[in-house]
Amino acid sequence: MVGAVLSDRYEIIEKLGGGGMAVVYKAKDTLLGRLVAIKVLRDQFAQDETFVERFGREAQAGARLSHPNIVSIFDVGRHGDDHYLVMEYVEGTNLKNIINEKGRLNENQVIRIGIELCEALEHAHENGLIHCDIKPHNILINDRGRVKVTDFGIARACTSDTITFAGSLVGSVHYFSPEQARGGTADIQSDIYSASVVLYELATGKQPFTAESPVSVALKQITEEPVPPSEINPEISPELESIILRGMSKSPQDRFTSAAEMKEALSELNGGEPAFPVNGQKEKVKTKKLRPAGWVALAAALLLVAVIGYFAALGFFKVDEVEVPNVVNEELEKATEMLEEAGLKVNVLSEIHDIEVPEGHVISQNPEGGERVKKNRVVTLEVSLGPEIVEVPDVTNQTLRDAEITLSEAGFKVAPDVTYIYDSRVGEGKVIQQIPKAREKEEQGQEIRLVVSKGPQPEYIEMPDLSGMSMADAQKKIDEVRLKLGNVSNAESKFYFSGQVADQSVKPGSSILQGKSVDIVVSKGPGPEPQLASVTVAVPNDGEKHRIRIEVVDSKGSHEEYNNLHNAGDIVREKVAFFGEGTVRIYRDGQLVHEQPVP
């Protein structure tokens, strides 16, 4: 994708990252000469109408919002099979990366982030949109320290007919409100709950609820109260703790009534400093007039700074840098030993199920292996719980392609040695049997063996005569008797007109096994010369008039040669034209009364 130009306008520069549904790229808008972010739907979902609809909904939702704390949506389009969004490019990082790097933040930073997050939500809610997926990953901090909320991918209008997702869980379970965890309605209070969970994590460096599986986390969201933030971070003020815990109340009625109310509560605690200093700008410090004792303290402080500067110049306070060892795929105990030997500290950030990485081994690390960092830096690890044991889905009567998709979505693979057998009950190309059977419990990542139908057992049949048929009629006849059309060639013929089948590799009436191929020769003309035949018809002498019609069926098809009304007792004598061999049919008053072969 890097280097590609979407819709003759957006030049892809580099990959920035991706989620489960889409990949994000940095790109240049060649028309306006600016950098943008392009979100491209993953290939496996581009053909899925549900995912494409959800992707389009992100554009519709985002385009309605215009706020300095919300990432702008500029454009939506399609390039070949790729569906994409064009968004504001934000130079910076997301809150999850900041938490992984710094752990908890100071109270002032938490408050300022909370205020700007509430301002973004307030604007969205005023425009009838619920974000539904507020989490640190979706909150960017630009290079000026400003909060930018992104990914309105599952936002939806606040109307009664679109507010629920039929009980399904959409979003990230660690930040779900209890009502979302139950599969119920998501509303303004749901966003307030998720925002409060984010502030909890910023203030403590930890998520309020963790467990071995998403379902267990969801149950804790519903039934358990969070550990008070002050028990994890004693430096947090009672006022900020009260705001966070109120926003995380189990009952929506006990939370803030709006993002604006929550913002006002945070603003009363705010000292005016930015969440993060702007590049090249120092953090502001409150000043007040010094008393005499203050001058003494200031002099002592200056002396201390001078001493520190002196020893720093000697390298007394210098912190050595070390290279972070790569511990991905290592067993946790060994990984911990390697990191501690390098002079680093270890923090297991999360434990999740993984198909590829064995249980107890490291899935990812931050910082990554090979980076140089200060000694005693904390390296966060994500550790595998191994494959999750889940129910095998039923893929019988599905096509092989559909079965592959169904099993892949459940975390399974299709064994490469697919077995094909004849079966008269299951259509060709559909799954007859699967091993293990449906609804059995198995580890994700396991291969599922499939048996696929080749259709009914082929039988010997009598080869039909294709002579004189058009290509379309010949193909239809071949399909009807379960044969295959082989090589098609063209040749001149005096017996068949251009486009008619003149010959076939298997003679009409001979025995042939279904499934075999039949080659045909199609005439290029000129076809047979016309011949004449004399026809005599006696009209009954019954006192009545009668209509006489003469029809010829030959290698050219069926064509009428005579049609007229006659008196009783008339004798009709006509010469009719025919091509090749044919049949003359005589009709009286619409009824066939005689037919004879010609010549």
From residue 40, give the alpha-carbon distance in Å to each of 43, 377, 472. Answer: 9, 35, 42
Cα-flanking dihedrals φ and ψ of residue 458, to 5°? -65, 150
Residue position matching structure tokens 């889905």: 393
How is residue 137 annotated by DSSP? G
Distance, in Å, from the CA atom of 525 to the CA atom of 110, rounded to the nearest integer, reads: 87
Distance, in Å, from the CA atom of 124 to the CA atom of 69, rounded to the nearest integer, reads: 10
Reduced to 3 states (helix: H, G, I; strand: E, B; else coil), residue 242 is: helix
Widest pairwise Cα distance in the chain: 146
Residue position matching structure tokens 């804790």: 220
Reduced to 3 states (helix: H, G, I; strand: E, B; else coil), residue 449 is: strand
Work out the end-to-end distance of the chain between its first and last CA atoms, rounded to an integer number of angstroms: 70
- Decide if 133 is catalytic: yes
The enclosing H or E element of 166 equals none
Q: Report helix angle 238-247 to 188-204, nearest 10.
A: 140
Distance, in Å, from the CA atom of 217 to the CA atom of 56, rounded to the nearest integer, reads: 30
Distance, in Å, from the CA atom of 444 to the CA atom of 182, rounded to the nearest integer, reads: 25
Residues 6+ positions from 255 with CB-CB distance below 8 Å: 189, 192, 193, 196, 246, 247, 248, 249
From residue 104, give the alpha-carbon distance in Å to each of 98, 182, 198, 217, 592. Answer: 9, 30, 11, 21, 98
What does the DSSP assignment read for 343-395?
T-EEEEEEEE--SSSPTTBEEEEESPTT-EEETT-EEEEEEE--PPEEEPPP-
List 43, 82, 133, 151, catalytic entry: 133
Catalytic positions are 133
